[in-house]
Structure 1
Amino acid sequence: MACRLSFLKVLLIILNVLLSLIGVSLIALSVYELNSSTPGTFEHIAIIVQIFVGSFVVLTSFLGCFAAGRVSLGLVWSYVICLLILLCLQVYIIVAAHSTNYVDRARNDFLALWSDPRRSSERLSYIEQKYSCCGQGGPQDYILLGGGIPINCFENLERQQNKLFSNGCLEAVQAHATDNVINGLIIKWLLLIVELASLGAATYLGITVRNKLRRERF
């Protein structure tokens, strides 16, 4: 009994360390993406939700480590409840991620910006410098609009022909969205697997501790 209890404690602590690392990774990825997303868009809202979930994961992992260290039945069951809530959120997020075309949404968001370049000039400048791109399909887009190529279409903001970005931003934005979807799904599925393993270990630990307390009473 003592060996089994010790094994479950160590296992639960290890799983919660993994949970906290994944949660921190999710928060870091989300914060990075938050800086490049347009406020009010679907992507922006989804990123905020991910930050909330990541924070909840980290806090839950701390509770799990504390519960395992103290071997407190109340803390263990509280941890199990938190994990069940997390699992429900995680399943919903994964289903939403698989059913939502983030690449199309990123494309539509960019096209909305490009529909009024003057009004969205600050945002477009940021995108062009971040992704090393120019215009929707290339520098010629600005010429077709009857204007000159802006300075933000040049590397290091140096107006030299050899430093002109030749790629269009629409393609760059879509490629970036594709990478984010892949990375996000990997983290979400990994998080779900660790949460399920933690739930199993915590439930077994709770049952073991409960049975131990019952035997001690009688």
Structure 2
Amino acid sequence: MGCATTTIKISSILLNTLLALLSIATIVLIAINTGSVPDEWDVPAYIIFALVILFAIIGCVAALRESICLTVTCGVFLLLLSLLQVAITIIILNDRDVQNGIAIVEDAWDHDKIDALQMEYKCCGKDSSQDYILLNRQIPLSCYEGQNDADANNIYNEGCSVKLQRYYARETLSVAVTSWITAVLEVVCFMLAVLLAINFRNKQRRMQF
């Protein structure tokens, strides 16, 4: 029984540590990749992952101290956070604002800031280089690879709206994947917390006799 308890305790500490590190990595990912999560979900995401880090640390402390109360508290909160996290991830994926990229391109186009986007994302116009032709405007150098318009083949074929939508969709997916993995770890840590609490209680009972 003692060997089993030790194994579960070590597993709990290791997985809670991994959970905390993964949550930190997810927070950094959201912060660095602006637009990976819709603006209205930025703060909730930070709060949830910060709480996961907190309770993962509490889980490690609870396992080391063999505290039944802390172990149960940590396990319950991790389970609740995993359910909340899954719900929010599903909402974000289902309600992903596909207009996000379009809005950025439209704003850049209206304020003559499209050149920066075209060079960064290797795109041309809102939908294509035809946007310039239809307006009788010269296609800017930012629409060409290396800003070299000597060769017509150097022109970027894709519009910036498509490029940015794809970029944000990819970044959203990367955050979603880490969120799913974190949620799974939370459930596993919850199960380990339940097993630990049972083992700690049994150990206390044996010590009373």
Length-normalised TM-score, structure 2? 0.81
Q: Residues 89 and 130 of structure 1: is their aligned pair in 2 closer, same or farther, counting only changes over 3 Å?
A: farther
Amino acid across the alignment from 1:30: I
Amino acid across the alignment from 1:160: N
Matched-pair contact (CA < 8 Å) for 1:113–1:120: no
- How do 1:45-56 and structure 2 match up within 5 A? 45-56=40-51
> 1:197 is matched with which residue: 183, 188, 207?
188
> 2:56 is matched with which residue: 38, 61, 66?
61
Q: Residues 47 and 126 of structure 1: is their aligned pair in 2 closer, same or farther, counting only changes over 3 Å?
A: farther
- How do 1:163-174 and structure 2 match up within 5 A? 164-174=155-165
Aligned partners of 1:121 and 1:54: how far apart in 2?
38
Higher relative contact order at CA 8 Å, sep ≥6: structure 1 or structure 2?
2
Aligned partners of 2:88 and 2:61: how far apart in 1?
27
Q: Deviations over 1:53-80 (max 9, x none)?
A: 2222222222211221222223212212
User: Which stretch of the first structure deviates more once superposed, 158-167 or 3-12?
Assistant: 158-167
Corresponding residue for residue 177 of structure 2: 186
Aligned partners of 1:83 and 1:141: how far apart in 2?
51
Alpha-carbon shift at residue 192 of structure 1 (Å) = 1.7
Gaps in structure 1 of 5+ consecutive residues = none
Q: Residues 72 and 152 of structure 1: is their aligned pair in 2 closer, same or farther, counting only changes over 3 Å?
A: farther
Corresponding residue for residue 18 of structure 1: 18
Aligned partners of 1:129 and 1:210: how far apart in 2?
63
User: Which stretch of the first structure deviates more once superposed, 108-117 or 49-58?
Assistant: 108-117
Alpha-carbon shift at residue 44 of structure 1 (Å) = 1.9
Matched-pair contact (CA < 8 Å) for 2:105–2:160: no
Aligned partners of 1:31 and 1:116: how far apart in 2?
22
Q: Deviations over 1:70-95 (max 9, x none)?
A: 22223212212321331232121233
> 1:160 is matched with which residue: 141, 148, 153?
148
Corresponding residue for residue 84 of structure 2: 89
> 1:77 is matched with which residue: 72, 76, 82?
72
Amino acid across the alignment from 1:85: L
User: Which stretch of the first structure deviates more once superposed, 205-214 or 193-202?
Assistant: 205-214
Gaps in structure 2 of 5+ consecutive residues = none
Amino acid across the alignment from 1:135: G
Matched-pair contact (CA < 8 Å) for 1:114–1:120: no
Q: Residues 49 and 152 of structure 1: is their aligned pair in 2 closer, same or farther, counting only changes over 3 Å?
A: farther
Aligned partners of 1:115 and 1:176: how far apart in 2?
16
Alpha-carbon shift at residue 7 of structure 1 (Å) = 0.8
Corresponding residue for residue 138 of structure 1: 128
User: Which stretch of the first structure deviates more once superposed, 141-150 or 130-139?
Assistant: 141-150
Amino acid across the alignment from 1:75: L
Aligned partners of 1:159 and 1:130: how far apart in 2?
12
Aligned partners of 1:51 and 1:164: how far apart in 2?
40
Alpha-carbon shift at residue 209 of structure 1 (Å) = 0.8
Aligned partners of 1:64 and 1:126: how far apart in 2?
47
User: Which stretch of the first structure deviates more once superposed, 190-199 or 124-133?
Assistant: 124-133
Corresponding residue for residue 213 of structure 1: 204
Q: Deviations over 1:1-59 (max 9, x none)?
A: 3212211111101211221232122112211222xx39xxx722234433332222222
Q: CA RMSD in A?
A: 2.7
Q: Residues 193 and 117 of structure 1: is their aligned pair in 2 closer, same or farther, counting only changes over 3 Å?
A: closer
